[in-house]
Amino acid sequence: MKATYKKYILNFKIPGGTSRGVLTEKETWFIILENDGKYGIGECGILRGLSIDDVPDYESKLKWSCENIHLGQDTLLKQLVEFPSIQFGLEQAFLSIQSKNPFELFPSAFTKSEAPISINGLIWMGDESFMLTQLEQKLKGGFQCIKMKIGAIDFDKELSILKAIRKRFSVDQIELRVDANGAFSKENAMEKLEHLSEYQIHSIEQPIKPNQWNTMATLCKKTPLPIALDEELIGIFDVTEKQRLLQTIKPQYIILKPSLVGGFGGCKEWIDLAEQNNIGWWITSALESNIGLNAIAQWTYSLNTKMLQGLGTGSLFTNNFESPLEVAEGKLFYRNTKTWKTNLIEHLCI
C-alpha cells in the first residue's frame, strides 16, 4: 500500500467571525491511500490556533505517517495520540480504501438518500445588521435551530438580537444555541448567563476559556441555562483524565469534533463516558471540506442520536469539492442524484 499527503487551502465565501478572530481561509490536509489501483482518502482537519496538534512538525508527522503506513491502522493510531487530526484522517482513509465506494464509509438510510440529519444553522459574528441578515437567511432556509456566535461585539447588542428572535419565535418554534468560544471572563460569566437565560436558550458552548475546571464546575452547578463543553475537551487523551474532567465539571453537554479529539475512536470514548455520567452530547464539524464533513455526517447518523447536530459547514467555501451533501429545510441530505467528481482522489494525488 502506498500513502501520500496533500495540503489544501479552503477559501471562505464570507469571512467567518468568532471571538478568536475572523477567518478568511482554512488550511486542511488529505491522506491518500493507493493499493492495486484502488484509492482511499481521509481529511486531517487542523484548526490553527486551536488544534492541540498545531505544532511546527505537523507536516513531518504526516510524512512519517505515510512512510509508515505498513504498520497498519491500529499501530499508527496508538503512536499518533497527540495528533488527533491525523488519527481522524487515517481512520477515514482506511475505511475509504476498504469500501466499495471510497466516499461511502458507513452505508445507511442516510447514504441511500432516505433519511436526512437535522442540524443547526450557524450565524457568524459581525455587526448587528450582518448577524440579522444571516438570521433571516437561516430562517428562510427552514432551520428550526439557530447557533449564534457571541462574545465579539457589544453584549447588549447580542442580547437585542436574541430578544428580537424570541419576540418573533417561541421556544417551540426555534431552538437557540449560543457559542462564546471562551469569551467571557470568570468574573462576569455568571451575570451574562443570567441575562442569556431570559431568552430560553437551549445551551451555551464554552462560556469561559478552558483549563479552569473549578470555575467551570461552579458555573455548571449554578448556571440558569445548560453549558456545553467544547474547547475544554481538546488535548485530553487519557481515558482516566477524561473521566476526571467530566466528574469534576459535571457539564450538561459536551460537543465533539472528531478532528480535534481523536477521530471516531476518540469521540466514542467521550460519548461512552458522557452517557455513564448522564451528560448529553452532539457532534459538530470543524470546518472540514466536504470530504471530512461527509465522513463525520455518515458516522453521526450511525449513532442514532436525536439531538440536532452541527454539520452545516459545507457551503462556507468557494472551492469546496462537489459532493452529494446538501443542506435544505434545516437538514443535511445525502443526494444520490448528485455525485462526487469521479477523479477527485486521483486529482489530489497530482
Catalytic residues: 149, 257
247 φ/ψ sector (left φ>0, alpha ψ -120 to 50, else beta): alpha
Instruction: State the Cα–Cα distance between residues 67 and 71, nearest whole angstrom.
Output: 9
Instruction: State the Cα–Cα distance between residues 89 and 337, nearest whole angstrom.
Output: 27
**Radius of gyration of the chain, Cα coordinates, nearest whole angstrom:** 20
Are 298 and 110 in contact by the 8 Å Cβ rule? The answer is yes
In this structure, what C-alpha cell is assigned to residue 259? 478532528
Are 199 and 165 in contact by the 8 Å Cβ rule? The answer is yes
Q: Count CB-CB contacts under 10 A for residue 67.
A: 10
Q: Count CB-CB contacts under 10 A for residue 172.
A: 8
Instruction: State the Cα–Cα distance between residues 148 and 160, nearest whole angstrom.
Output: 13
